[in-house]
C-alpha cells in the first residue's frame, strides 16, 4: 500500500492547517447566515469532516454521491446521481465540498443542478484543484491547494477504491495504474 506512493504531496499537518484557514474564512464570509454543506461522496468525506470542525457559523450537512465516469477514467459532462440530498434546498446557502476539481465537468453539472433548485446561493469549496486539466469554465470559491497534473490519492481520494484512509495526499506511482 504505502509502497505504491511515489511521494507525499500534501502532509497531514498542511491539510489540517488548510482546513482551519478555510473554515475561518468561510465562517467570516457567512457571518450571520447558516450554511447547508453538501459533501460529495465519497472522496470528500475526510476533508469535509475536518473543514466542518473549523466552521463556527450554524451548519447542517447532507451528502450527494455522483458519478461522471463511464467505462474510461475521464469524466464527461453528464453526471449520474447515485445519491441525492434528502431535503429541499430552496433558499438555502449551499456550500458544495469537493475533494478535487480536475476537468471541472462534475462540478459544473452539479452546481447548475443545485442552482436550478432555487438555492439562495451555491458556492464551492475544494480541497485540491488541478487548473491545468480544466475542460469547462468553473471556479471554486475556496481552494485548499492548486496542484500539478499528477494522480493523487489519500485523505479521501482513491484509485480503484484504495488509499482513501491515508492521512496525507500522495502521488500514486505510475506503475500502479499503468500496469
Ligand atoms: P472532474 O469532473 O474531471 O473534475 O472529476 C472530478 C473527480 O475525478 C473527483 O471528484 C475525483 O473523484 C476524480 N479525480 C480527479 N483527479 C483525481 C486524482 O488525482 N485522484 C483521485 N481522484 C481524482
Ligand atoms: Mg469525487
pLDDT of 19 above 90: yes
Contact 45, 156 (CB under 8 A): yes
From 4, 10, 38, 75, mutation site for ligand 1 pocket: most ligand atoms within 8 A of C-beta: 75
How confident is the model at residue 67, as a pLDDT?
85
How confident is the model at residue 75, as a pLDDT?
65
What's the pLDDT tens digit per position in 139-161? 999 999 999 999 999 999 999 99
158 among known catalytic residues: no
What's the pLDDT tens digit per position in 85-96? 999 999 999 999
Ligand 1 pocket, residue 95 CB under 6 Å: no
| Burial (0-12, 13-18, 19+ Cβ within 10 Å), 31 | exposed
pLDDT-based confidence at residue 124 (cuts at 50, 70, 90)? very high
The predicted model scores a pTM of 0.94
Least confident of 12-16, 38-42, 133-137: 133-137
Q: Using alpha carbons, select from 86, 111, 97, 70 the residue that is nearest to residue 156.
A: 97
pLDDT of 167 above 90: yes
Ligand 1 pocket, residue 157 CB under 6 Å: yes
What's the pLDDT tens digit per position in 60-108? 999 999 987 654 556 666 788 999 999 999 999 999 999 999 999 999 9
Nearest ligand, measured from the Cα of 9: 1
Amino acid at each position: 500500500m504505502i509502497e505504491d506512493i511515489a511521494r507525499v504531496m500534501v502532509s497531514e499537518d498542511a491539510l489540517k492547517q488548510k482546513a482551519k484557514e478555510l473554515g475561518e474564512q468561510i465562517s467570516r464570509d457567512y457571518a450571520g447566515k447558516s450554511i447547508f454543506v453538501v459533501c460529495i461522496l465519497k472522496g470528500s468525506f475526510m476533508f469535509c469532516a475536518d473543514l466542518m470542525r473549523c466552521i463556527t457559523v450554524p451548519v447542517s450537512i447532507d451528502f450527494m454521491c455522483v458519478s461522471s465516469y463511464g467505462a474510461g477514467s475521464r469524466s464527461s459532462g453528464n453526471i449520474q446521481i447515485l445519491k441525492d440530498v434528502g431535503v429541499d434546498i430552496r433558499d438555502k446557502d449551499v456550500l458544495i465540498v469537493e475533494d478535487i476539481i480536475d476537468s471541472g465537468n462534475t462540478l459544473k453539472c452539479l452546481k447548475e443542478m443545485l442552482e436550478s433548485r432555487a438555492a439562495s446561493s451555491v458556492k464551492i469549496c475544494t480541497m485540491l484543484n488541478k487548473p491545468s486539466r480544466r475542460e469547462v469554465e468553473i471556479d471554486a470559491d475556496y481552494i485548499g491547494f492548486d496542484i500539478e497534473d499528477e494522480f493523487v490519492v489519500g485523505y479521501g481520494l482513491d484509485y480503484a477504491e484504495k488509499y482513501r484512509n491515508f492521512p496525507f495526499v500522495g502521488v500514486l506511482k505510475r506503475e500502479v495504474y499503468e500496469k
